[in-house]
Amino acid sequence: MSSIDHIKATPQVMVAQIGARHHYAIPRMLEESGHLSAFHTDANAVKGLGKWLSKMPVIGSRGAFKNLGQRTLTGVPRGKVRHTDALLWRRIRGALHLGPGYENYIEDDYLFDAIIAARGFEGVDTLYAMQKHGTNILEAAQAAGVRTVVDVFITPMCHHIVEEERARYPGIELSCEDKARLELEDERTRREIDHADLLLCPGMNVVEGLANFPNARGKAYAVVPYGCGVSFGGVKNEPVTGRVLFAGTADLRKGIHYLGMAAEQLASEGYDFRVAGNVSDEVRNHPMMSHLNFLGRVPREEMREEFLKADVFVLPTLAEGCASVVHEAVMAGCPVITTNASGTMVADGRGGVIVPERDPDALTEAIQAVVKDRDKRNELAASCEDLAKEFTEDSWSERLMEALTNPTPEIIPADPNQLKA
């Protein structure tokens, strides 16, 4: 009997996760539903070295340590948290030049993976591992007869898409010259697929990405769209006409250059294109971005005001899993213009407008149509309110529990074209 043949109605789930993805929503939802057995993670503000560093302003606000204070693990009992400081120590050694430190995220992933795999699976019947964090854990869990679930939070074709875009628009971002590293990404994905009993995907865009890997065909999957725990407390979006908001890392993957092209086409019409999020000097100073107003990293409370004042939120992304910033815009009542690659709940006429990827003209036309037609803009804003009710964190939890206990999940077809039929 394989591990997927004995799905329990009340599974005891061990979660393995690096960082505070979704503000620890997965272990929190599993705990609230009575299914969390243990949560294995890295440095945080609750236990170990991370707890003490996060309380030291000089250290806790700098570089790789600056987000430690936000890793509060709200809703997860401390007794169920098992952490490792090994990844944090690597960063400290590197920062102090005391030995090998942080080199790249792949090495961090493998280190975490090996540490958690060695701990065993006592009292666990289901392992919930995040994509990229779990090849050894998955293999060890299956060997122990534990059912394995992989949260595929972004399309596994992401790095291929980004490399294609870097070739299309050289000079904005450095291309990855280490082709062996790109192959390592694919090999890791293949291993995760091999040892996954269930692939959890936030949208069909991710399922379609998985279908590019032959060993994924015939694998069980479930589409579980994310919800949003952000609340605007009933405060309504009061837009500044012509204010266009982008939020997230300003890079090629998220289509920042296409937003730059649209801003250039609309430069004489009084639009204010605001970009909130991390941005490299290369992107900021590129001529293509000259009509964008880069705000840098914006504190959460100020970001709330950005959403409430935006006339339209735009994310012309090329590769995502399910873009959480789109959910936040919808929760704020702000119409969204995005692509199918965003993997979100927005559809044409429902919460916003969908435009083709890599099409700056269509993006420009959509922005004009929403901003200039106030009736249309108001209709889209009203539809956000209904859409938001379907994608709360509570509804996300319900979808997740249903997927984890469903004995007859969907199967990725042998012919990937059937997914688009």
- Tokens coding 127: 């392992």
CA distance 259 to 314: 8
> Which residues lie closer than 8 Å to 220 by C-beta, 6 or more apart?
4, 197, 198, 199, 409, 410, 411
**Superfamily per CATH, domain 3-226+395-420:** Glycogen Phosphorylase B; (3.40.50.2000)
pTM value? 0.91
Taking only the tens place, the pLDDT of each residue in 300-318 is 889 999 999 999 999 999 9
Mean per-residue pLDDT for 146-173?
94
CA-CA distances (angstroms) from residue 145 to 83, 152, 307? 24, 22, 47
Which pLDDT belongs to residue 169? 95
Instruction: Report the mean per-residue pLDDT for the chain.
Output: 90
CA distance 193 to 207: 12
Phi, psi values for residue 294, rounded to 5°: -80, 120
Taking only the tens place, the pLDDT of each residue in 96-150 is 766 555 456 777 888 899 999 999 999 999 999 999 888 899 999 999 999 999 9
Task: Enumerate the CATH 3.40.50.2000 domain ranges in the chain, comma separated.
Answer: 3-226+395-420, 243-391
Phi, psi values for residue 148, rounded to 5°: -115, 130
The answer to whether the Cα torsion of 162, 166, 167, 169 is positive or negative is positive
Which pLDDT belongs to residue 183? 85
Which pLDDT belongs to residue 68? 76
Confidence band of 2 (pLDDT split at 50, 70, 90): very low
Phi, psi values for residue 309, rounded to 5°: -105, -10
Amino acid at 247: A
The CATH number assigned to the domain with range 243-391 reads 3.40.50.2000
Taking only the tens place, the pLDDT of each residue in 326-365 is 999 999 999 999 999 999 999 999 999 999 999 999 999 9
Above 80 in pLDDT, residue 380? yes
Phi, psi values for residue 275, rounded to 5°: -120, 110
> Which residues lie closer than 8 Å to 171 by C-beta, 6 or more apart?
282, 286
3-class secondary-structure state, position 196:
coil
